[in-house]
Amino acid sequence: MLSSVSGIGIYRNWNSDGPVMPEVYESAYLTKDSSQRWDFKTNTPDIVSIALGTNDLSDGDGIKKRLPFDSSLFVSNYIKFLKTVYSHYPKTQVVLLSSPMLDGQKAKLLFNCLIAVKEEVTLSVPGIKPIVLYRFKPMQPKGCSYHPSKEDHQVLADELEGVFKELVGS
């Protein structure tokens, strides 16, 4: 199952003040105003992979004023979000994914933030499986509005397939 929202971040979105992923994660429709909550007992995933950070690190559209990226705020919100994930799926394998759309300093900054998240959650959430970090190869997405195309998604899936198979033992 895939749950995603274009433009959403862990503490700030691409170019809007709308709700961020931690605010909509428990909603059945990934919206803040939805009264219908997701039933986390319906399915228990073997793996929860999370790819957040591209939008937090973006420069936006260049028109709307945007403060510089705040790594402390990013890390603290990500830690809180992972604790929410573990509250619903305490035995799942979590994989934190880098962003294939970032390169250079932004890619390094995101990965360093993910390392900090992994270290803190590992220390503060007892009994979890070791968190896995995965660094995608950089790509220039060919889809619309800086999103990966269908072919780009296949490249990403092919990259992850072996990692996921190894984690579930198949």
pLDDT tens digit sequence for 12-36 = 999 988 899 999 999 998 888 778 9
Strands (DSSP E) contained in 19-168 are 47-50, 93-97, 132-134
CA distance 100 to 28: 27
Low-confidence ranges of the chain (pLDDT < 70): 170
**Domains of the chain: total:** 1
Amino acid type, 4: S
Check residue 149 and give its pLDDT.
Answer: 87
Q: Is 53 exposed, middle or buried (0-12, 13-18, 19+ CB in 10 A)?
A: buried
Instruction: State the DSSP H helix or E strand holding residue 118, giving kind and residue range, or none if neither.
Output: helix 104-124
In a domain, 125, yes or no: yes
CA distance 142 to 134: 22
pLDDT tens digit sequence for 46-67 = 999 999 999 999 998 889 989 9
- Which CATH number covers residue 151? 3.40.50.1110
Buried residues in 142-170 as b, exposed as e (16+ CB within 10 A): eeeeeebeeebeeebeebbeeebeeeeee
**For the whole model, what pTM was predicted?**
0.93
Q: Which domain holds residue 102?
A: 21-168
Check residue 163 and give its pLDDT.
Answer: 96
In a domain, 8, yes or no: no
CA distance 82 to 118: 9
